[in-house]
Structures are given as C-alpha cells and as structure tokens.
A and B are shown apart, each in its own frame.
Chain A
Amino acid sequence: KAGVTQTPRYLIKTRGQQVTLSCSPISGHRSVSWYQQTPGQGLQFLFEYFSETQRNKGNFPGRFSGRQFSNSRSEMNVSTLELGDSALYLCASSVSGVAGELFFGEGSRLTVL
C-alpha cells in the first residue's frame, strides 16, 4: 500500500516568491492535514481538509492557504515568502481525521533565501 507522497521533497525560493506544495494521501483517505516543522517552534498545525472542505485551521497568516481536490489530493500555497517560512512542511492523511490514524509523508523541505 503506497504511503503519503509529498512533492517536491526539496526546494529553494527567494523572499517574496510563492510556492505550491503537493500531497497525495493514502488511497481511501479523505482527510489531509498540513503541519510546519521548524527547530524553534516544532510541529505546528496549519490546516485540515476533508472532502474538499477546510474543517480546521491553525494560527498562521493568510499567506498560507490550501485546497483539496475531489481525488483527495491536496496542495498548500505560501505567498510572499519570508525567511521565517523556511521549514519542513509535512502532510498527513487519515480516513476521517481521527488523530490516531494519521500517517505522515516525508515532507517538503523549503529553504527561503
């Protein structure tokens, strides 16, 4: 059974640019969550989508946005990148959003110069 796939795995951007990250959940999983991981703040919840609807959102500025498609694949976008956005962005999928069923991908490591 294929796991959660995130692309790209690594990317470098400059301040002011925007970035789009992609997540393909495990087949049959309808919930996709996004987390930001940094050495200083640890893992922080960004948002969660279920059946194309955002059900939950963390405390991040509006520059961070996401969406989910009908096939459950999800994308997140960060506009007007700042140096502090450098982080590992992790996607997790589950059947229905139950915490004990979350499976994480390996992440997309974003470096902002």
Chain B
Amino acid sequence: QKEVEQDPGPLSVPEGAIVSLNCTYSNSAFQYFMWYRQYSRKGPELLMYTYSSGNKEDGRFTAQVDKSSKYISLFIRDSQPSDSATYLCAMSETQGGSEKLVFGKGTKLTVNP
C-alpha cells in the first residue's frame, strides 16, 4: 500500500463548479498536510498548509483534514479556467531534524469555460 493515495483523474468540470479533490494516507506519523498546484512545465506552488484536523479556508479554497480517517480534501469553489492544473497533496514527517514530504501522484483538473 502506498503511503499516500490520490485519484489521478483526470477531472473535467464546467466553470463555476465546486471541485473536490481527495487523498488518503496510511502513515500516522504525518504531521503536516499540504496542497500544491502545478501548472504544465512549472514547479509546484503551495496552496494550502495545515497541521490539525478540521477546515482551513483561503479565498475560494478550503482544505479539510480528518486525521482519524487519514483523509484530506481540497475544495475549490466557483472554479475558473485558470484553476486548470495538476493538484498534488503532500504530507510531511520529521526525520533527521527536517521535514520530508511525501506526495500523492496528483489529480489533473480541467475547468472548461
């Protein structure tokens, strides 16, 4: 079993739709949970970062963490064509004094005008 599982999609939605992206994980040592967005031919950029169970909102984006179920989600409200990208979940654990990130394989999202 992979440490982090993420549905690769692809996911195609109309503009204005609510998008739900999900990841599950198996390692209880993961302490921090992140969502990255990666446009084609670009490096990942951090969207959301959280460490506790519950919801965290930032504009149209909401990150949700359920540590008891080992499940995290990212919701995008009022999706825009500019949101078309690959979304990667990532989780970190502390090793050797630094944090090591484990990524999901990413979900490719297309928002159609």
How many chain A residues touch B (CB < 8 A): the figure is 26
Q: Could you tell me the dominant secondary structure of chain A's interface residues?
A: strand
How many chain B residues touch A (CB < 8 A): the figure is 24
Flag if A102 contacts B101 (CB, 8 Å): yes
User: Shortest CB–CB separation between residue A2 and chain B, in angstroms?
Assistant: 14
Flag if A42 contacts B105 (CB, 8 Å): yes
Flag if A55 contacts B97 (CB, 8 Å): yes
* B95 CB contacts on chain A under 8 angstroms: 56
- In this complex, the member of B45, B90, B98, B103 whose beta carbon has the largest number of chain A beta carbons within 10 angstroms is B98
Q: Provided the pairs A99-B34, A99-B49, A107-B43 are in contact, do residues A45 and B102 lie with their beta carbons within 8 angstroms?
A: yes
Q: Provided the pairs A42-B105, A43-B88 are in contact, do residues A99 and B43 lie with their beta carbons within 8 angstroms?
A: no
Q: Provided the pairs A42-B104, A43-B88 are in contact, do residues A98 and B41 lie with their beta carbons within 8 angstroms?
A: no
* B66 CB contacts on chain A under 8 angstroms: none
Which B residues are within 8 Å of any A CB, using their own CB? 32, 34, 41-46, 49, 88, 90, 92, 95-106
Between A and B, 29 residue pairs with Cβ closer than 8 Å are: A4-B43, A31-B98, A35-B101, A41-B105, A42-B103, A42-B106, A43-B44, A43-B103, A43-B106, A44-B103, A45-B101, A45-B102, A48-B100, A50-B98, A55-B96, A55-B97, A56-B96, A56-B100, A90-B44, A92-B43, A97-B97, A97-B98, A97-B99, A98-B99, A99-B32, A102-B46, A102-B101, A106-B42, A107-B43
